[in-house]
């Protein structure tokens, strides 16, 4: 049970960072930027049931960099990212009381993307996998950075 609680704690933090996607909350329905609907579904080895998918809408600037699409969280830094065609791969290292390594990739289509992320806790080698997807659902105005 203790291991499951540790997974849930880290899963919650990772899920919150995925949903934030390095940008602010959705703004007005009209504007010059892109309103995306993001979905993430977490799967953890040893858990009998996958957690339900989480869906969130986020306004993303049209002038974004690839790194802006990489889900970040406190105490983490992107140590490598690369775009090859329509695919972005990345690696992050996270510090803190439960250090971890996160490896992921995103493949973009026409106003859509699919991807995956794998988080490994450095101390225990426990892992958590997330399936990611998104689609552009409209226009918005992203807040200034």
Span 82-141, pLDDT tens digits: 999 999 999 999 999 989 999 999 999 999 999 999 999 999 999 989 999 999 999 999
Q: How confident is the model at residue 73 (pLDDT cuts 50, 70, 90)?
A: confident
* Cα distance between residue 118 and residue 102, in whole Å: 6
- Is the entire prediction scored with pTM above 0.85? no
101 touches 128 (CB < 8 A): no
* Cα distance between residue 7 and residue 125, in whole Å: 12
* Cα distance between residue 86 and residue 114, in whole Å: 11
Span 95-108, pLDDT tens digits: 999 899 999 999 99
- Give every CB contact of residue 124 below 8 A, 6+ residues apart in sequence: 6
- Give every CB contact of residue 130 below 8 A, 6+ residues apart in sequence: 14, 15, 18, 40, 41, 42, 43, 116, 117, 118, 119
Within the chain, residue ranges assigned H as helices are: 2-20
The count of other CB atoms within 10 Å of the CB of residue 60 is 22
């Amino acid at each position: 049970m203790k291991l499951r609680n540790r997974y849930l704690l880290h899963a919650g933090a990772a899920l919150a960072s995925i949903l934030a996607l390095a940008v602010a909350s959705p703004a007005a329905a009209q504007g010059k930027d892109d309103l995306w609907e993001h979905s993430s579904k977490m799967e953890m080895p040893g858990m009998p049931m996958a957690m339900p998918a989480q869906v969130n809408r986020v306004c993303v600037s049209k002038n974004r960099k690839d790194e802006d699409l990489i889900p970040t969280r406190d105490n983490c830094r992107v140590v490598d990212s690369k775009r090859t065609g329509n695919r972005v791969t990345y690696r992050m290292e996270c510090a803190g009381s439960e250090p971890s390594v996160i490896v992921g990739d995103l493949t973009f289509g026409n106003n859509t993307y699919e991807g995956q992320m794998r988080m490994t806790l450095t101390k225990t080698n426990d892992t958590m996998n997330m399936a990611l997807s998104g689609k552009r659902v409209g226009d918005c105005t992203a807040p200034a950075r």
